[in-house]
Structure formats: structure tokens, C-alpha cells
Chains A and B, each alone.
Chain A
Amino acid sequence: NAGVTQTPKFQVLKTGQSMTLQCAQDMNHEYMSWYRQDPGMGLRLIHYSVGAGITDQGEVPNGYNVSRSTTEDFPLRLLSAAPSQTSVYFCASSGSQGAFFGQGTRLTVV
């Protein structure tokens, strides 16, 4: 049982480039979410989804897009990367037993 799988683990982008962070879960959870974590800080919610076809904004959504075409997958797209988006990104999948987080993607924008 893989739980929540995030790819890639590390990524370096140039300012203005776009990319997609992948997240997949195999627990059949309806609720999935994306967070970013800056050094020494707690996690901040970017976007979340309560089921396939339904997404909504979190605390810090600007510069990011999401879609949820299947229950399993919840990709996060950076439209035009900026240095302020340098951070560690975590995907989470939640059910009645709590939230399960992926191992994170460390993104550096230069």
C-alpha cells in the first residue's frame, strides 16, 4: 500500500517556467489537498479537493492551479514560476482516519 506518492522529489526551475507536481493516492479518499512549507514554518494550504471534479482555494492559491479528474490524482500546476515559490510542497489525502501526507517535493526557483 503506497499511500500518497509525490513526484518529483526535487526540482529546480528558472523564473517563468511552468511545471506540474504530481500526487497520487491509493486509499480511495475523496479529500485531497496541497500545502507548501517554508523554512521554519508550518504548512499553508494552497488548494484542496473534496472529490473528483471539485476543487477550491486555500490560504495561498495565487500562482497555482489544480484539477481533479480522478479520485486518485491531484496534480498541482505552477503557471509561471517565481522565486517566492521556492518551498517544499506536500500533498495530503484525508479520510476518517486522518490525513496522510506524501514525502514532499523540494522546489527551487532561480
Chain B
Amino acid sequence: LAKTTQPISMDSYEGQEVNITCSHNNIATNDYITWYQQFPSQGPRFIIQGYKTKVTNEVASLFIPADRKSSTLSLPRVSLSDTAVYYCLVGDFIDNYGQNFVFGPGTRLSVLP
């Protein structure tokens, strides 16, 4: 499994765009990149998943460069309710359905008024 590295914490203000970058230098050919969000006292929640280039959904965008050794989760115009821990996971989720997810400490995002 590819090891991931992401910042431990970030601060932002309401209405700003937040970009969280994850490094995964050892990503394998079959690996996908998936981001989860976790609020206090809740289980992680799927945000977005991608393989290459750019993926966008109603919540976020995921940017993946051609070498796939990093990825950036972009949250547009954050609000106080986006305060949470964000996890970057890398693995063969399509064929192996996420066997052996490895969660690091994640990035603790604090959105300030």
C-alpha cells in the first residue's frame, strides 16, 4: 500500500478556497486516490475519488498531476461546517474494495469565522 503524507493541520476563514495536498510517492498503477471527511464523534465519510487529472463533484474537486505522486483536495468557499479531519487514502479500491485501508492522522481543518 502506498504511504501518504499530508499536513497535520490547516486553518482557513469562511468563504475561502482550501487546498489540501497529499503526497503518495509510491502509488501503484492500479491505485486510486480517495479522500474522506470525519466530523467529531462520527465515522469517516467518502468525499471524492480519482485516478488521474481532475475529478469534481458537488462537494469538492480532486486534482491529480500526470505522475500521480501527489493529489490536491480542493474545497471551494468553505464554511464553519467544513471543520473536520480530512484523510487521503491510496489503494486498489476498485478491484479489492479497499482491503486494508491505511488511515494516517489526516489533516485537521479548522474554519474560522
Residues of chain A touching chain B, judged by Cβ–Cβ distance below 8 Å, are 4, 29-31, 33, 35, 40-45, 48, 50, 58, 88, 90, 92, 94-104, 106
Instruction: Give chain A's interface secondary structure class.
Output: strand
Smallest CB gap from B36: residue in A: A99
User: In the complex, which residues of chain A have a beta carbon less than 8 angstroms from the beta carbon of B97?
Assistant: 29-31, 50, 94-96
User: In the complex, which residues of chain B have a beta carbon less than 8 angstroms from the beta carbon of A90?
Assistant: 43-44
Tell me if A101 and B105 are in contact (CB < 8 A): no
User: In the complex, which residues of chain B have a beta carbon less than 8 angstroms from the beta carbon of A92?
Assistant: 43, 98, 101
Smallest CB gap from A30: residue in B: B97
Smallest CB gap from B100: residue in A: A45
Smallest CB gap from B46: residue in A: A98
User: In the complex, which residues of chain B have a beta carbon less than 8 angstroms from the beta carbon of A102?
Assistant: 43
Tell me if B42 and A104 are in contact (CB < 8 A): yes
A45 to B46, CA, bound (A): 17
